Amino acid sequence: MDLFEYQGKQYFARYGIAVSPGGVADTVDQAVEVATRVGYPVVVKAQVKVGGRGKAGGVKLAANEDEVRLHAGNILGLDIKGHVVHRLWVERSSDIAKEYYASFTLDRQNKVHLGMLSAQGGVEIEVVAEENPEAIAFLSIDPVRGLDLATARRWVNEAELDEVAREQAAELLVRLYECYTKGDCDLAEINPLILTPDNKVHALDAKVTLDENASFRHPEWDEFRADEFEDPREKMAKEKGLNYIGLDGTVGIIANGAGLAMSTLDVVNQVGGTAANFLDIGGGADADVMASALEVINADPKVKAIFVNIFGGITRVDDVANGVLEALQRVTISAPIVLRLDGTNAVEGRAILAPHLNEVLITEPTMLDAARRAVGLANA
């Protein structure tokens, strides 16, 4: 789960990482309230999960109430790369002497944690990595040993942060590492991490991705979830416990297993179609899950055909077949369904469906045949 900047800052604050005083605002009046509370000048920032907000006019400095009203009014409702701004973060403006970069993420190749620190922050780290890689101090961290203050001190020296910033930065990095590990982040990034003219170090931005697998030990994440979904189809799927990603095509896809679902998208594409979604019903899905999956797909008006691709393992094909029949009773499915059924109890599953097959409920013997049929129907 990607957090909005304001959520990331709230999460950082839990781990003692210094951020600017500020608050969220969903209306112009709320923005003024926050600004009055934290004191002028303030920065009004669009809360969207996409980069390049500044260039799109989503980050503005305001010296007084009139300017807050002007900027907040302009930014709310602004479309930034397809993300409409519904919420603002208003914070006390900071004077900046220096901008740094700091992040922790998993180094998948070496299976350790990777810290990145640079005295050249404020720009995209990918650009720095490409144009001036020696400006980034990389630190490999053994997950068993973790990061101690002594190592962090050597690291800030190596990155050549300004001397006055080093001790504060080292302490902040240890806290950020704690946030990353104990806080179960896939990514914890501060860009920029700033040094102010009065020699204070703090986080001016926050980019945090949480590892959903760890949500069982983080009840505090519930508050982040309310604003998680911008796509109503994904919201509905999540409520039904389905692993769904909305796309733009016309063939609705249901498969069991992430790999097979990805492969189904590819095959649909290869035979000239476009996928409306990725949907993995997971292992051991029963009839009810299958019915819910069809309901979610059916709610997408762009879907012109539905391709159900099942290779039974833990999932039993007879359960899938029963789920299809259940869904047909529960809701009126508006697009034809093409099924490919193999694996555990495939014979039983096909037998269950046999009496019900017609021009809108079709089975095909192989994945490729079924893909061609579904794409043909969708493109007709």
Partner 1 sequence: MSIFVDENTQVIVQGLTGGQGRFHGLRNRDYGTKVVGGVTPGKGGTDVDGIPVFNSVKEAVAATGATASFVVVPPKFAAAAIIEAAQGGINFIVCITEGIPAQDEAVTFNRLVEEFPGVRLLGPNCPGIISPGKCNIGITSGDIALAGGPVGIVSRSGTLTYQALYELSQQGIGQTTCVGIGGDPVPGTNFIDCLSAFEADPETLAVMMIGEIGGSEEERAAEWIKANMTKPVVSYIAGVTAPPGRKMGHAGAIISGSKGTAQAKMDALRAAGVHVCQNPTEAGQKMGEIVKAF
Answer for which of 343, 361, 376, 379 binds partner 1 (CB under 8 A) is 343
> Should residue 134 be labelled a site residue for partner 1 when binding is judged by CB under 8 A?
no
CA distances from 21 to 35, 329, 351 (A): 10, 55, 65
Residue 79 pairs in a beta bridge with 84
Name the amino acid, one letter, at 36. Answer: T
Answer for which of 136, 260, 325, 360 binds partner 1 (CB under 8 A) is 260
Residue 338 pairs in a beta bridge with 307, 362
3-state secondary structure of 45: strand
Cβ atoms of residues 112 and 101 within 8 Å? no
Q: In terms of CB distance, is 144 or 380 closer to partner 1? A: 144
Q: In terms of CB distance, is 22 or 249 closer to partner 1? A: 249
Q: How far apart are CA 293 and CA 237, in angstroms?
A: 8
Q: In terms of CB distance, is 271 or 360 closer to partner 1? A: 271
> Should residue 142 be labelled a site residue for partner 1 when binding is judged by CB under 8 A?
yes
> Should residue 131 be labelled a site residue for partner 1 when binding is judged by CB under 8 A?
no
Q: How far apart are CA 271 and CA 372, in angstroms?
A: 6
CB of 216 to partner 1, least distance (A): 6
Site string for partner 1, 10-39 (x = CB under 8 A): ------------------------------
Q: Which residues are catalytic?
A: 101, 189
The residue count for binding partner 1 (CB under 8 A) is 50
Q: With CB under 8 A as the contact rule, which of the stretches 70-78, 84-92, 107-115, 326-334 interacts with partner 1?
A: 107-115
Q: How far apart are CA 119 and CA 143, in angstroms?
A: 25
Q: What's the gap between Cα 372 and its chain centre?
A: 32
User: Tokens 């806290």 label which residue?
Assistant: 175
301: preceding bond cis by omega (within 30 degrees): no
> Should residue 136 be labelled a site residue for partner 1 when binding is judged by CB under 8 A?
no
Binding residues vs partner 1 (CB under 8 A)? 106, 108-109, 111-113, 126, 142-144, 181, 184, 186, 211, 213-214, 216-217, 243, 245, 247, 255-263, 265-270, 275, 278, 280, 283, 311-314, 342-344, 366-368
